[in-house]
Amino acid sequence: MQSVATALTRLGDLAATPPVSALANAFAAAGHELALVGGPVRDAFLDRPINDLDFTTDATPEQILEIVKPLSDAQWDIGRAFGTIGARVAGETVEVTTYRADSYDGQSRKPEVVFGKSLEDDLLRRDFTVNALALRLPGLTLVDPANGIDDLLAGVLRTPISPEVSFGDDPLRMMRAARFTAQLGFRLDVDTAVAMEAMADSIRNISAERVCEELSKLLRSDSPHVGLELLVESGLFDRVLPEVPALRLEVDEHHHHKDVYQHTLTVLDQAIGYERSRGGFDGPDLIVRLAALLHDIGKPATRKLEPGGVVSFYHHDLVGSKLAKKRLRALRFDNDTIAAVAKLIELHLRFFGYSEGAWTDSAVRRYVRDAGDQLERLHILTRADVTTRNRRKADRLGFAYDDLEHRIRVLAEQEEMAAVRPDLDGQEIMAILGVRPGREVGEAYRYLLEQRLDDGPLGEEEATRRLRAWWDGRGE
């Protein structure tokens, strides 16, 4: 946390940069107010990087567009209905929004957009006091009508007005509270937490697309663990992602098993650690994190109490994969993300047979083939899934996976395994067998692929010999 004087100096330096000073002077010359607002001001006090330049003004969207056009080389008005105009000014992307006072009517899934009349009113309608901060331009006057600076210093997340009213205006703010506890490391004000629990059901009024976006932002944060716990404890996840709170399975005195819910959060933490240490990703990887969060959601449906105090979860990988597809589809995640997460959940147990006995080269090839372009993510998820406190067992599994990755690298170098294909393509198969396109060609292709996976590269002559033998023997 920066001192107030240091933060103001930093904001002054920001105001002197070409995009900010150009906008400030242009709006002042046009007779309109302009203020830097929200995240950039907050992050100046928290000594965090300032990545977004968000402004608010008394000008209408039409007036904003008229003012920014001469200053910018590009403009977009996709948010015009909500009062927002975007532009690229002096090489920086900026967004300027008309003072707002929107609210929900409790029925519609979208807010009713109402433009406000003053900066102070605009700030008080924002989600949290730490975001209800503004710097008037060009005069560099700090505006803090909700005592957000005090809450920044105290590390408290609180709504500028009554939380019941604030969450009633936009229920998505409850999920945003969880994200900010994770991103900023703040604690939630007691009254705000109580209101979240009481009003959790109103999250159903929010569109799946907005919920998906907010959940994704939380999962991409540096440490989403505490935010996810808040979503479970408040009851929000019971409405949004009920498969996660369902992981809090009861344990009776005769049957004992690992706490699946806490195990899941640990797996997520460890997956994030592997994601960072192994590299190869362009920022936080949503697919890895979703797969870690959902990898065991098939356990409640497959839980079986066995004799001798054993609890089994047979086929929870397959059941969980189907449940994940259904839930992520309902939340409007894109098809590629859904397919990748479902595949990782389906395959996340495959490795554990490796440590019990040596796999053949054929088994290693199949592991790579089945993982496809998700192999690196599968490495991460599988390693993260080891949460045992038994150091000897953890080391054994770790060494086994090291060995598997080594064998994959060796085979890849020998065979270019990442692109494993039969030694003959479809055209060659049809020419050799004298058949037309159809089911037989697909069967022949799959046969040759299995031969390739079992024995490695065959060469054209040997592949042709095996193909003819297989074809001649089909009727036997």
Encode 4-45 in three state secondary structure: HHHHHHHHHHHHCCHHHHHHHHHHHHCCCCEEEECHHHHHHH
Asked if the model's pLDDT at residue 190 lies above 70, the reply is yes
Mean pLDDT in residue range 20-27:
96
What is the pLDDT at residue 219?
98
Which residues does 446 contact at the CB level (< 8 Å), separation at least 6?
none
Asked if the model's pLDDT at residue 104 lies above 70, the reply is no
3-state secondary structure of 187: strand
Model confidence at 317, in pLDDT bands (50, 70, 90)? very high
d(CA 68, CA 55): 12
- pLDDT (tens digit per residue) in 234-247: 999 999 999 999 99
CA 187 to centroid of chain Cα atoms: 22
3-state secondary structure of 238: helix
Model confidence at 324, in pLDDT bands (50, 70, 90)? very high
Degrees to nearest 5, angle at CA 326 with 324 and 329: 100
What is the pLDDT at residue 259?
85
Helices 172-184 & 208-219 angle (0-180, nearest 10): 10
Q: What is the DSSP letter of 358?
A: P
Centre a 10 Å sphere on the Cβ of residue 207 and count the other Cβ atoms it contains. Answer: 13
- pLDDT (tens digit per residue) in 347-361: 999 988 776 667 888
d(CA 106, CA 257): 42
- pLDDT (tens digit per residue) in 36-89: 999 999 999 998 888 889 999 999 999 999 999 999 999 998 888 888 999 999
Asked if the model's pLDDT at residue 175 lies above 90, the reply is yes
What is the pLDDT at residue 253?
43
DSSP assignment string, 91-145: TEEEEEEE-B--B--SS-SSPBP-B-S-HHHHHHTSS-GGG--EEEETTTEEE-T
Q: Lowest-confidence range among 173-182, 223-232, 419-428? A: 419-428
Asked if the model's pLDDT at residue 365 lies above 80, the reply is yes
Q: Lowest-confidence range among 118-132, 169-183, 324-338, 454-468? A: 454-468
- pLDDT (tens digit per residue) in 252-288: 443 455 689 999 999 999 999 999 999 888 899 999 9
Percent share of the chain, pLDDT over 70: 92
What is the pLDDT at residue 239?
97
Percent share of the chain, pLDDT over 90: 68
Model confidence at 419, in pLDDT bands (50, 70, 90)? low
What is the pLDDT at residue 257?
53
What is the pLDDT at residue 254?
39
Q: Lowest-confidence range among 155-159, 340-344, 423-427? A: 423-427
Tokens of 379: 């490495």
Asked if the model's pLDDT at residue 221 lies above 70, the reply is yes
What is the pLDDT at residue 207?
94
> Mean pLDDT over all residues of the chain?
90
What is the pLDDT at residue 394?
87
What is the pLDDT at residue 390?
87
Contact 304, 319 (CB under 8 A): no
Dihedral (Cα; 139, 142, 145, 150), 10-degree rounding: -170
What is the pLDDT at residue 247?
94
Tokens of 167: 């969450």
Contact 95, 77 (CB under 8 A): no
Domains and CATH numbers, the chain: 1-154 (3.30.460.10), 155-240 (1.10.110.30), 246-419 (1.10.3210), 426-472 (no CATH)
Asked if the model's pLDDT at residue 416 lies above 70, the reply is no
Count of alpha carbons within 13 Å of 229, Cβ hemisphere only?
14
d(CA 442, CA 423): 14
What is the pLDDT at residue 355?
63
Contact 266, 247 (CB under 8 A): no
